[in-house]
Chains A and B, each alone.
Chain A
Amino acid sequence: MTMPVESQAEPIPTPVDAASQLWLRRLSAEGAEREAAVAKLHALLLRAARFEIGRRGGRSTHLRAEDHEDLAQQSADDALLAVLAKLDDFRGESRFTTWAYKFALLEAGVKARRGAWQGREIPLEAEAWNAFADTAVSAGRGAEDAELFGALREEIESALSERQREVLVAVTLNDVPIDALAERLGSSRGALYKVLHDARRKLRAALAERGFSIATQREEEP
């Protein structure tokens, strides 16, 4: 992805905190000490997975209570493998527990999003265009907005590749989780986001060329 900020991230001089050092030492040990550390790590990851599935609550109506626990266990199991495989990547820039948690949250989040769309048709095109007209009309917007949304619709139809259009429409107009779309298309979140990023850049450039000012509003909460 043309995201030229990678080199700007500061290199981090990192004194690893004592608790994190202890985690690393025990997980790198052998025998009973390592087994105990791995069990403790699994418990920590399971807590994170349950937290994620619990906070999704109402959004996971496709799941029964026992499915929630199965999902948490699977997520913790998969996260444990990921954490143990990537121990050498831990740079001590955060606490070890914060670093490990993110793997469990990712596993649980992805599984829940994909599960919610299992068996459902993913709208890739459909009547997404109506969102533009409906939005402009319902908000009582003027001719300028109607012109902008009309131009945007034209550019989505003409300037984007089929793949770019599918991903853009599904994710931004039809609220399809990118993880569910990635599973359906045999791709990954990162790869599809790159497609989306390129599509957005193309649309912004096309609209700018047509004379539209397209600074977009930033939400306060990411």
Chain B
Amino acid sequence: MSQEAHRREPEELLARVLGPTEPELSCEQCFAELDRYVELTLAGGGADTRLPGMRAHLDGCPACAEDFRSLRDLVAAEGGPS
């Protein structure tokens, strides 16, 4: 049992266990769209409107969310999408 789990607020624990309520992409779909989503996010280009289901998946899948943050931060560090 992780110590972190003990420290979670009830709302956070519920969100982790029950996951997003909206329709969401699968991990495979998420990976396929990740580069586009990151560039749209960094460009402020309505990423969630153009890729419905991505945000819900990132809320529900810690591993894909970590991949998203890594790619976003790397692309941003290199000057962002042109």
The interface of chain A, by Cβ under 8 A from chain B, is 1, 3-6, 8-10, 12, 17, 48, 51-52, 55, 89, 93-95, 97-99, 101-102, 105-106, 109, 113, 123, 126-128, 130-132, 134-136, 138-139, 141, 145, 148-149, 152, 156, 168, 171-175, 177-179, 189-190, 193-194, 196-197, 200, 203-204, 207, 214-219, 221-222
Interface of A is mostly: helix
Closest to B63 in A: A178
Among B1, B2, B20, residue most surrounded by chain A Cβ atoms (within 10 Å): B1
Question: When A193-B27, A194-B26, A204-B21 are in contact, do A218 and B59 touch as well, CB less than 8 Å?
Answer: yes
Question: When A95-B39, A178-B62, A222-B65 are in contact, do A214 and B18 touch as well, CB less than 8 Å?
Answer: yes
User: Which residues does chain A contribute within 8 Å of B75, judged by CB atoms?
Assistant: 98, 101
Question: When A3-B29, A102-B34, A109-B63 are in contact, do A52 and B70 touch as well, CB less than 8 Å?
Answer: yes
User: Which residues does chain A contribute within 8 Å of B2, judged by CB atoms?
Assistant: 173-175
Residue tally, chain B, CB below 8 Å to A: 62
In the complex the two chains form, is A216's CB within 8 Å of B71's CB?
no
The interface of chain B, by Cβ under 8 A from chain A, is 1-2, 4-21, 23-29, 31-36, 38-39, 50-53, 55, 57-71, 73-75, 77-78, 81-82
Closest to B33 in A: A9
In the complex the two chains form, is B52's CB within 8 Å of A9's CB?
yes
In the complex the two chains form, is A113's CB within 8 Å of B63's CB?
yes
In the complex the two chains form, is A17's CB within 8 Å of B82's CB?
yes
In the complex the two chains form, is A215's CB within 8 Å of B74's CB?
no
Q: How far is the CA of A168 from the CA of B4 in the complex (A)?
A: 16
In the complex the two chains form, is B26's CB within 8 Å of A222's CB?
no
User: Which residues does chain B contribute within 8 Å of A138, judged by CB atoms?
Assistant: 6-7
Q: How far is the CA of A105 from the CA of B3 in the complex (A)?
A: 28
CB distance from A210 to the nearest CB of B (A): 13
CB distance from B20 to the nearest CB of A (A): 7
Among A52, A93, A197, A222, residue most surrounded by chain B Cβ atoms (within 10 Å): A222
